[in-house]
Structure 1
Amino acid sequence: MRLRLPNTFVLLFAILAMIAAATWLVPGGQYDTRLVNGRQLVDPATFHYVASEPQGLVALMMAPIKGFVDAALIIGFVLIVGGAFAVLQQTAAIDAMIGAVVRAHSRSPLVRAAVIPVFITLFSLGGATFGMAEEAIPFILIFVPLALALGYDSIVGVSIPFVGSQVGFAAAFINPFNVGVAQGIAGIAPFSGMRYRIIVWCIATAVTIAFMMWYAARIKRQPQLSPTWALDQEKRQQATPAAAALVVMTARHASVLALFVSSLGVMVYGVVEYQWGVEEIAALFLSMAILIGVLGKLGADGFVAAFLHGARDLVTTALVIALARGTVILARDSHIIGTMLHALTPLVASASPIIAAQKMFVIQSVINFFIHSGTGQAALTMPIMAPLADLVGVSRQTAVLAFQLGELTTPMIPTSGITVGVLALARIPWLTWARWMVPLQLIYLVMALALLAPPVLMHWQ
């Protein structure tokens, strides 16, 4: 008899319940903070136990609504992006683009060989430079139907923008949101050690491309092997990609796509030059949707109907994000995150500096389950890990790299709002995705452990 696995909502609520139970067993603890260069940093020498605040049944049932409020920006962003892309799809410009790529894919061996490597490299570069993370969410609505039209599956469509950007974020060489902040806290020159970080990024991106090329070729040969085969059959029937492939690119389609690409360029520029956040990017997508509605001659009623339809389709995604954020709120309100960090710290000590660096990576991976913000995790852990690195014979540059690589688990963990939001958008159950991700995560684990050895051996500073 085959085991029937719970859906994402049941799984997330079970995690909520387990964290609530843990708050009755784990004592409260926290570190004092001090203001350094305008940032509140944790003082590693000030850990102390505080009064425990166990989270009972009432707190458990309130966690989803608190998560909704706490994640209001990202939820609003997802709804607006969903509406904007529904307007874009209503113009049939995406169908025309997919049709053009499908025809080129069928005619040109070069295009067939280049689609996956080129796009994964671009998204990885986005993560490595300007910290692309939530920005990858809108691309799910393009790459899933594109992957299906090319004979792949939804997993390929999700992996190109999502895994690509996340592996770039974790192996970043100039990302100000994790590398810049962590190096500043660790007291080393901003963006120093870039040469080795570029090597790390190249290896991590190449490993991702190689795995995805192998998987995509396998699914191309035997589509029934896909974990999402049944789901994709439904999507293909609903999307009618064969009809989409017949859509001829017109001047109107081209102008709509040009506006879309220009908007993405503005988004990248705003993030890099002006440190745009979710609010500014959401405003950009809303403005883009209005202009696309005008260019596409949808009319006021057609624009509003398309926008509301797109936003309505993402209500499930919004609820999933709220539940995921609720898990972090329970741990934060009970003050057990500081206690857990304090308990993990002594485990870093080792007779071998290489093993110590690798232990740092494992600990950062565990912490990443609860804290997904690169900046937030750096602010919490680097004030402790940096001086600890000095004690165990590991350079602070290596400690920063261990912190970065700990974020390689983000594409799999169910407490990440981005992860569950992306999967809900693609209509892939988390457990289906997690089973598929296990081999890639094991490859990332071995890769990260190996990449932490050379910096120790060469006394990387």
Structure 2
Amino acid sequence: MSEPGSSDEPSISTPPAGGAKQKVMISSYTILIVITLLVGLATIVLAQVVPGVTAASLSDILVSPISGFLDGIEVSLFLLILGGCLGIVNKLGALDAGIAALVKALHGRETVLIAAIMAVFAVMGSTYGFCEETIPFYALLSATLYAAGFDTMVATAAVLLGAGVGCLGSTVNPFAVGVAIDSLASVGIEANQAIVIGLGLILTVVSYAISLFFILRYANKVRRDKGSTILSLQEQQAAEEAYGKDAVASTQETLEFTGKRKVALALFGISFVVMICGFIPWEDFGVTIFTAGGVWDEAGEVWATMPWSGLLTGNPIGEWYFNDASVWFFIMAIIIGVFGGLRENEIVDGFLDGAADMIGVALMVGLSRAISILMGETGLDVVILDSASSALAGTSALVFGPLSYLVYLGLSVVITSTSALATISMPILGPLAANLGFSPEVIIAIFCAANGLANLFSPTAVFLPGLLLARVQYPTWLKWALVPIIVIAVASVVITTAALMVL
């Protein structure tokens, strides 16, 4: 599982022909550690010349990651439990089988399949940050669409852009929106999640429409004329060897959509629906059904009588945060395992395997918070904010919007963890935007939009293994995706800048 729209371990490129030594990219962990050290050293230097900055001691620098882990424990624990639940679903093969069943049902109507798969991935990307989990689907869709007369670029684009535009337009994605809102709250800025959801929906729908247009235009052209493919002869040969008729049949046969898998997938889907409902601030929309039966005590601080939707976690749906989501997914992980027919030891093994996949992501949350903690303790964050505010004083939305988008785009290439980037940047750009009179909700949207776009082209993103499965080389993908990516970027800047002017 991945944060949405992020990769915590940059991909390693495959060795080129001739046995040349493979290139290994520096990991996000090392990048964050280096940034922490640089921030610590910067405070020592700036303390001598800049009023308001206190020099960090060696112990301050070394302790900051531990302080970050403690500060982000709720988010980290949620990630581990969510990974455990997904691990049980994967152990049952329910998710792969469900997609395979959809592929079979839409045989002969593959363009509908493309749109449907993209829509499903977009919803999951927007709500959950579904990104790294898409890697197996590159092979599944490549086999099916190749047999239907398309090339593997069509499958690649459907998977990558489908999940990508969802992450780009995150609504209640806990790894992006959740961490961003939490980071803003830590510096005293409250964001209206209803507005964040609205902006995310607009970005998702517009980006989805743009992506679908380019994919279907290319897909239909390839289906009519095989010679119009953008793939090289070498890539075409590799695709033919990997995704012939026999391979497609074999893939679909091994993913039988059994009754147990149907039940598991349905329960998994319900889990996400409930989580999404839990994060949506229903009372902001005037919806009170989830708080029915509850009353406040005389102090107006706690529930004297628990509302029906708060029986499991102590908080009603619409008032959930990471602890509530952790309780919910822990319960559902056990239920999915039981109804899926797994034995006790299989449930435990599946949960632990899934949680193990999330350890790196969970650690990343704490490590990333070390930077903001160190900056806060030394006063460096206040100095940076004051300097930036002075430099941008009077800047209009027409200038601030595009520039902040470019800043986040560049940062997203270097810091590939969505939660890490949100934790580092929001305490700085959030107050800066507030000082300039801009809506914090739009800053979150700009962050998500830029971060999501970077995950469509950055070599440090999670899609490179998927390209290998689809037999598509990275330069070929960039060649095909350049125009759609530019159009999506322009549309995102226009939407977010207009929002800055209106909100």
Provide TM-score, normalisation by structure 1.
0.64
| Separation (CA, whole Å) in 2 of partners of 1:376 and 1:118 | 31
Q: Residues 120 and 164 of structure 1 are in contact (CA less than 8 Å); yes or no, is this contact kept in structure 2?
A: yes
Match of 2:78 in 1: 77
Match of 1:203 in 2: 206
Determine helix, strand or coil for the equivalent of 2:52: strand
Asked if 1:16 is matched to 2:2, the reply is no
Paired AA for residue 144 in structure 1? I
Match of 2:275 in 1: 267
Asked if 1:388 is matched to 2:436, the reply is yes
| Separation (CA, whole Å) in 1 of partners of 2:406 and 2:61 | 29
Q: Residues 314 and 425 of structure 1 are in contact (CA less than 8 Å); yes or no, is this contact kept in structure 2?
A: no
The sequence identity of aligned pairs, in percent, is: 18
Paired AA for residue 206 in structure 1? A
Asked if 1:305 is matched to 2:306, the reply is no
| Separation (CA, whole Å) in 1 of partners of 2:384 and 2:231 | 44
Q: How far 1:149 moved relative to its partner?
A: 0.5
Give CA-to-partner distance per residue, 1:294-349, whole Å, 9 cap, x none: 22222212222332333334444445555444444444444423222222223324
CA pair 3-282 structure 1, distance change in 2 beyond 3 A: same
Aligned match for 1:49, one of 49, 52, 58: 52
Aligned match for 2:135, one of 126, 144, 167: 144
Determine helix, strand or coil for the equivalent of 2:323: helix
CA pair 5-69 structure 1, distance change in 2 beyond 3 A: farther
Paired AA for residue 388 in structure 1? L
Q: Where does 1:247-262 land on structure 2 (aligned, <5 Å)?
A: 247-262=255-270
Determine helix, strand or coil for the equivalent of 1:275: coil
Q: Residues 93 and 256 of structure 1 are in contact (CA less than 8 Å); yes or no, is this contact kept in structure 2?
A: yes
Q: How far 1:263 moved relative to its partner?
A: 1.8
Match of 2:450 in 1: 409
CA pair 206-346 structure 1, distance change in 2 beyond 3 A: farther
Paired AA for residue 137 in structure 2? L
| Separation (CA, whole Å) in 2 of partners of 1:270 and 1:226 | 49
| Separation (CA, whole Å) in 1 of partners of 2:22 and 2:122 | 37
| Separation (CA, whole Å) in 2 of partners of 1:181 and 1:21 | 22
CA pair 6-327 structure 1, distance change in 2 beyond 3 A: farther
Q: Where does 1:314-353 land on structure 2 (aligned, <5 Å)?
A: 314-349=358-393
CA pair 308-91 structure 1, distance change in 2 beyond 3 A: same
Determine helix, strand or coil for the equivalent of 1:261: helix
Q: Residues 68 and 369 of structure 2 are in contact (CA less than 8 Å); yes or no, is this contact kept in structure 1?
A: yes
Q: Residues 317 and 424 of structure 1 are in contact (CA less than 8 Å); yes or no, is this contact kept in structure 2?
A: no
Determine helix, strand or coil for the equivalent of 2:264: helix
Q: Residues 98 and 244 of structure 1 are in contact (CA less than 8 Å); yes or no, is this contact kept in structure 2?
A: no
Q: How far 1:161 moved relative to its partner?
A: 3.6
Match of 1:44 in 2: none
CA pair 386-243 structure 1, distance change in 2 beyond 3 A: closer
Q: How far 1:52 moved relative to its partner?
A: 2.6
Q: How many residues align?
A: 405
Q: Residues 408 and 444 of structure 1 are in contact (CA less than 8 Å); yes or no, is this contact kept in structure 2?
A: no
| Separation (CA, whole Å) in 2 of partners of 1:307 and 1:3 | 37
| Separation (CA, whole Å) in 2 of partners of 1:81 and 1:193 | 23
Match of 1:39 in 2: none
Match of 1:102 in 2: 103
| Separation (CA, whole Å) in 2 of partners of 1:266 and 1:157 | 25
Q: Where does 1:123-162 land on structure 2 (aligned, <5 Å)?
A: 123=124, 127=126, 132=127, 135-137=128-130, 140-141=132-133, 143-151=134-142, 157=159, 160-161=162-163
Q: Residues 87 and 350 of structure 2 are in contact (CA less than 8 Å); yes or no, is this contact kept in structure 1?
A: yes
Q: Residues 169 and 202 of structure 2 are in contact (CA less than 8 Å); yes or no, is this contact kept in structure 1?
A: no
| Separation (CA, whole Å) in 2 of partners of 1:190 and 1:85 | 26
Q: How far 1:95 moved relative to its partner?
A: 3.9
CA pair 67-375 structure 1, distance change in 2 beyond 3 A: closer
CA pair 158-148 structure 1, distance change in 2 beyond 3 A: same
Asked if 1:296 is matched to 2:344, the reply is no
| Separation (CA, whole Å) in 2 of partners of 1:4 and 1:244 | 34
| Separation (CA, whole Å) in 1 of partners of 2:191 and 2:75 | 32
Unaligned runs of 5+ in 2: 1-15, 143-151, 224-228, 281-316
Match of 1:119 in 2: 120
CA pair 434-119 structure 1, distance change in 2 beyond 3 A: farther
| Separation (CA, whole Å) in 2 of partners of 1:216 and 1:325 | 44
CA pair 385-307 structure 1, distance change in 2 beyond 3 A: closer
Give CA-to-partner distance per residue, 1:220-248, whole Å, 9 cap, x none: 95678999xx9xx99xxxx9993454443
Give CA-to-partner distance per residue, 1:353-400, whole Å, 9 cap, x none: 6335544555677898798687997776555434534xxxxxx46x86
Asked if 1:7 is matched to 2:18, the reply is no
Unaligned runs of 5+ in 1: 31-46, 390-395
| Separation (CA, whole Å) in 2 of partners of 1:96 and 1:260 | 13
Q: How far 1:75 moved relative to its partner?
A: 3.3
| Separation (CA, whole Å) in 2 of partners of 1:64 and 1:241 | 50
CA pair 333-408 structure 1, distance change in 2 beyond 3 A: farther
| Separation (CA, whole Å) in 1 of partners of 2:451 and 2:445 | 11
Q: How far 1:100 moved relative to its partner?
A: 0.8
CA pair 140-402 structure 1, distance change in 2 beyond 3 A: closer
